[in-house]
A and B are shown apart, each in its own frame.
Chain A
Amino acid sequence: MNGMFIDTSLCVGCRGCMTACKSWNELPGEKTTFTGSLQSMPDTTSKTYTLIKFYEHEENGRLRFDFFKQQCFHCSDAACEKACPEEAIYHTKEGAVVRNYDRCIGCDYCQKACPFNIPRIDTQEKKMHKCTLCFDRLENGEIPACAQTCTPGAIKYGNRDELWELAQKRLAEVKKEYPKANLYPSDKNALGGTGVFYLLINEPEFYGLPSEAKLKSTFSLWHDVVRPLGKIVPGLALGATVIAAVTNSVKKQREEGHGEQ
């Protein structure tokens, strides 16, 4: 299985990946507002699948830029796929998590379920949009547009196991300069193994990520307890009425039989 490794220590914030993504996916530009940062826009949208987030801060009297590439993690155990009531989200054989345009009704369950808050709804069109891992490129033996365009080589796409080994090596090197550096998700098999993983130079919380990459407890409660109950409890009620209808009609017949004797 292939995967994507994003080494944020190598990112220079050129946003070439964002442009390549827009270009390949034929996404329009969007008006945005100046937020006091060099970051292009506050968040990903239904028309912007990936965003280089800028974390400008002062360290030892010098301005520092730290970067994070926000996009879909393409989890193997994908909460969005499980949450979708229309079975519109699925895995391609290359491992990309994608949405079937015709099935999607824009209900937004996927965004609520996602541990990383990635899916975005186009409220006019009523469809969900997010990074597709360029599954159409993958199908044709190409690598995702962002990985192909990344000049400093921060985005790598290839054999997942080899990339994970590379990530371990990079982590050991980067730790010398950034002691807080870590791999995210820290567990190779978190969420069934995410198609995309990162080398971060700050703690996950610094980037607004959950400290541990796992399904949300509210999602598990909903998906594993409440939803099955929704079929079991009304089902039991229906079953009980069917049994009662039978026992009551049997009783009625018996009483009528007694009357005839």
Chain B
Amino acid sequence: MVSNKIFRFNKTMRFFHWSYITFYFLLAITGAFLYFDFLDWLRPLFGGAQGARIVHRVAAVGLIVSPIISFLLNPKEIWETLKYAYSWKASDLKFFGEFIKEFFGGHAHYEPQGKYNQGEKLNIVLQSLGWFLFILSGIVLWRFESFSPEVGMIALIGHDIAFIFTLAYVIGHIYLSLFHPVTKPALEGMLTGYVDEEYAQNHHPLWYTEIKSDKGKAKSKTKSKAVTVEK
């Protein structure tokens, strides 16, 4: 059987995604020790509270540099993804009403979506804002004793807010990519780079027609290309 595959995520994007979430999870677990008592049993894994503090700082360096390295590897890809994610029009918000239906098993009628749908765009927006907020407030928390109580308290609030909203989105993101019947096929794109043509056509029709027409014109410059894979 021949199934057509469409190239969605290049090496830079995949490197960025997996490196970032590795550090994010290390940080989330070691940080959540101060939040949730039910995680206490995991503490010895990180060398207790003081070990967790060191792991948190080491992983923080990773979280800071992972997007920067990705940007240096392929500035154009990262820049255009960000530009795309931050471009919104009022009608884009309708997506979320439909999304809620689909999330709980209903049928959604989306407006045609591009390479990233509105939910994915919001994810990029939230995570990138979270990244900035984590770093800004984290610098203060890193050298907590050197800052005034007022600045320290504001940094604590900033760090918590960044954590709350990125974590909530991450929980939904993991469910959608691993378990949700409709959105599950997208995971392959982040693992191999390629998604099923059918998936691309159904979920990202604007992007699909764009790369199809690009392919027709045989543009050498296009970032995305379609290939046929024997299965």
Least Cβ–Cβ distance between A59 and chain B, in angstroms: 31
- The answer to whether the Cβ of B160 comes within 8 Å of any Cβ in the partner chain is yes
- The answer to whether the Cβ of A63 comes within 8 Å of any Cβ in the partner chain is no
- The answer to whether the Cβ of B172 comes within 8 Å of any Cβ in the partner chain is yes
The docked-state distance in angstroms from the alpha carbon of A111 to that of B150 is 10
With A216-B153, A237-B169 as known contacts, state yes or no: A123 contacts B145, CB within 8 Å. yes
The docked-state distance in angstroms from the alpha carbon of A216 to that of B50 is 28
- The answer to whether the Cβ of A141 comes within 8 Å of any Cβ in the partner chain is no
Q: Chain B residues with Cβ under 8 A from A85's Cβ? A: 34-35
Q: Chain A residues with Cβ under 8 A from B88's Cβ? A: none
A223-244 interface bits toward B, Cβ cutoff 8 Å, 1 = contact, 0 = none: 0001101110110111011011
A69-102 interface bits toward B, Cβ cutoff 8 Å, 1 = contact, 0 = none: 0000000000000000110000000000000000
A218 touches B180 (CB 8 A): no
- The answer to whether the Cβ of A245 comes within 8 Å of any Cβ in the partner chain is yes
Q: Chain B residues with Cβ under 8 A from A121's Cβ? A: 145
A230 touches B164 (CB 8 A): yes
B34-67 interface bits toward A, Cβ cutoff 8 Å, 1 = contact, 0 = none: 1110000000000001100100000000000000
- The answer to whether the Cβ of B163 comes within 8 Å of any Cβ in the partner chain is yes
- The answer to whether the Cβ of B181 comes within 8 Å of any Cβ in the partner chain is yes
**Interface size band for A:** 35 or more
- Among B1-60, those with CB < 8 Å from A are 34-36, 49-50, 53
With A108-B145, A227-B160 as known contacts, state yes or no: A218 contacts B104, CB within 8 Å. no
Smallest CB gap from B175: residue in A:
A241
- The answer to whether the Cβ of B167 comes within 8 Å of any Cβ in the partner chain is yes
The docked-state distance in angstroms from the alpha carbon of A251 to that of B101 is 13
B180 touches A248 (CB 8 A): yes
B154-194 interface bits toward A, Cβ cutoff 8 Å, 1 = contact, 0 = none: 10110011011101110110010001110000000000000
- Among B134-150, those with CB < 8 Å from A are 144-145, 149-150
Q: Chain A residues with Cβ under 8 A from B34's Cβ? A: 85-86, 107
Per DSSP, chain B at the interface is helix
Of B149, B154, B172, which one neighbours A240 at CB under 8 angstroms?
A: B172
Q: Chain A residues with Cβ under 8 A from B171's Cβ? A: 234, 237-238, 241
B157 touches A221 (CB 8 A): yes
Q: Chain A residues with Cβ under 8 A from B119's Cβ? A: none
Least Cβ–Cβ distance between A151 and chain B, in angstroms: 34
Smallest CB gap from B34: residue in A:
A85
The docked-state distance in angstroms from the alpha carbon of A234 to that of B167 is 6
- Among A198-226, those with CB < 8 Å from B are 216, 218-219, 221-222, 226
Q: Chain A residues with Cβ under 8 A from B149's Cβ? A: 111-114, 117, 216
The docked-state distance in angstroms from the alpha carbon of A229 to that of B160 is 9
- Among A240-261, those with CB < 8 Å from B are 240-241, 243-245, 247-248, 250-252
With A111-B149, A237-B171 as known contacts, state yes or no: A244 contacts B160, CB within 8 Å. no
- Among B74-107, those with CB < 8 Å from A are 103-105
- The answer to whether the Cβ of B152 comes within 8 Å of any Cβ in the partner chain is yes
The docked-state distance in angstroms from the alpha carbon of A57 to that of B156 is 38
Give me the interface of B with A, judged by CB distance under 8 Å.
Answer: 34-36, 49-50, 53, 103-105, 144-145, 149-150, 152-154, 156-157, 160-161, 163-165, 167-169, 171-172, 175, 179-181
Knowing that A111-B152, A112-B153 touch, tell me 5 more A-B residue pairs with CB under 8 angstroms: A218-B150, A226-B157, A229-B160, A234-B171, A248-B179
The 6 closest A-B pairs by CB, nearest first: A112-B152, A85-B34, A241-B175, A237-B168, A218-B153, A237-B171
Interface CB pairs A-B, < 8 A, 30: A85-B34, A105-B53, A107-B34, A108-B144, A108-B145, A109-B156, A112-B149, A112-B153, A112-B156, A113-B153, A126-B50, A221-B157, A226-B160, A226-B161, A229-B160, A229-B164, A230-B160, A230-B163, A233-B168, A234-B167, A234-B171, A236-B168, A240-B172, A241-B175, A243-B104, A244-B103, A244-B105, A248-B104, A248-B180, A252-B181
